[in-house]
Amino acid sequence: MGKKNYGRCTVCGDDAIGMNFGVSTCMPCKAFFRRNAFRFNTAELVCKYTGDCLVTSNYRRGCNACRLAKCFHVGMKKSLILSEEQRQLRNKLVQENRLKRGQIPKEECARWMQSSSLIYMTSNGIKSLSPSDQVVLANIFHAYENTCIAIRNNESPCFPSIVHNSMHEFLNELSTKVPMFIDYFKYVPEFARISMDDKIRLVKTHFGVMININEPLLYPLTSSNLTRTWSNVFGPDITLRLVKRNKIIEQYTIDPILLKIVLIILVLSSDNSRDLDTFDLDVICDDTLFIFHAQNIYVQLLWNYILSRTTSYRDAVKFYNKLIMCILFMSNVDRDIDSHINKCKNEIQQMVPLMQAIWSDSNKNTDESMPI
């Protein structure tokens, strides 16, 4: 579709970009009028000549007083200038409408969230990885391919399949993905040696972490179905943060193994990452020492892997710190989503048993609905 033609700016004759403050203008004249409309006939804006200076695209900066006078003469109205608060409200409304139509906004990640160029480097520090490290990394890669990727390709090539308007419908569809995530963890030897009760607790307390990383890993392109569903279910504020989350993770998916290690590390944590007050932090898991030991194995593996991908120890530290900050951002989003869902008791009651177990207020040791 070609660019719409708005003709010429009625103030200076340059190419117009649209109707601004009542008339067709170019961008410079639009901005000029917004900045100066309320200064008309003040001592700050007085023509130094005869009061009829030429205003064209080439000479519009010659005399601000005559340029502003011409703006009013051609019909520009200062009553149409929005206050900063009104502009923010309008922009928010525009953003909400775009999200409802499934349009993904332009991403403006903070600088510290942008992916490091380190991850694009070829591996030149292989000495940081022992032979056993390399075997474990290969096992992690193939375990994810044989579970999550294989099941996605065979059963659910797109997610969600439709636009959902209710939270329980969306989470019920999401529940069909949980078994594939758990199948991946069953390939992790340390997870396999954890007691059944502790496995259930880990899945329950780190469900959001599993979704935060797996969803963009499995579906790198954020579909309009997903953004529209997020907007319907969580509202515009959380939706924008989820879009940013996907953009952050997308920058790390170029690496075939990094996020798969991070996923194991985050799930092998005996802390409470949920927003459920009924959990007692001191009794989250029975064997916290073993879980902590298992997590340390993969933290060390992640560090060795980053060292193998970077040219210096300093670069590795910079990359690691940036990765941690991105994980903390995702964790904050997850907690806000958790809090949002917990307030919707009626929606929770309409979820399938697995989802009800995830958001149950009780801290049961076992749950038959968990596919472990």
Please report, rounded to a whole number, the percentage of residues in the chain having pLDDT higher than 90: 35
pLDDT of residue 368: 60
Which of 33-47, 87-101, 224-238 comes out lowest in average pLDDT? 87-101
For the domain made up of 95-358, the CATH class stated in words is: mainly alpha
Count CB-CB contacts under 10 A for residue 290: 17
Q: What is the pLDDT of residue 366?
A: 43
DSSP states of 316-334 as a string?
HHHHHHHHHHHHHHHHHHH
**pLDDT at residue 255 in the model:** 86
Question: Residue 281 pLDDT > 50, yes or no?
Answer: no
Give the torsion through C-alpha atoms of 85, 91, 92, 95, to 10 deg. -170
- Mean pLDDT, the chain, integer: 83
- The full set of domain ranges for the chain reads 18-80, 95-358
Task: Categorize the per-residue pLDDT at 152 as very low, low, confident or very high, splitting at 50, 70 and 90.
Answer: confident
* pLDDT for res 43: 73
Checking if the pLDDT of 116 tops 50, the result is: no
pLDDT above 60: residue 344: yes
Both ends of the chain: CA-CA distance in Å?
A: 52
pTM: 0.69
Q: 71-84, pLDDT tens digit by residue?
A: 999 999 988 888 77
Please tell me the class of the 18-80 domain. Answer: alpha beta
The pLDDT assigned to 119 comes to 47
Q: pLDDT tens-digit profile of 293-320?
A: 999 999 999 999 998 888 888 888 989 9
The pLDDT value given to residue 104: 58
Return the amino acid letter for 53: C
State whether residue 20 is helix, strand or coil: strand
Q: What is the pLDDT of residues 208-230, one digit of tens each?
A: 888 888 888 888 888 889 999 99
Q: Look-up: residue for tokens 């472990």?
A: 372
The confidence band for 285, taking pLDDT boundaries of 50, 70 and 90, is confident
For 41, residues 6+ apart whose C-beta sits below 8 A from its C-beta are: none
Q: Which residues contact 205 (CB under 8 A, 6 or more apart)?
A: 271, 272, 273, 274, 279, 284
Highest mean pLDDT among 29-38, 80-89, 149-158: 29-38
d(CA 39, CA 364): 68
User: Between the CA of residue 136 and those of 26, 94, 128, 139, what are the distances in Å?
Assistant: 60, 48, 14, 5
92/3 Cα distance (integer angstroms): 25
Q: What is the mean pLDDT of residues 282-303?
A: 87
Asked whether residue 169 carries a pLDDT value surpassing 90, the answer given is yes
Residue 262 — very low, low, confident or very high, per pLDDT cuts 50/70/90?
Answer: very high
Give pLDDT, residue 359.
Answer: 79
pLDDT at 258: 92
Q: Tell me if 319 sits within 8 A of 118, measured CB to CB.
A: yes
| pLDDT over 80 (residue 275) | no
What pLDDT is stored for residue 48 in this prediction? 86
- Residue 5 pLDDT: 76
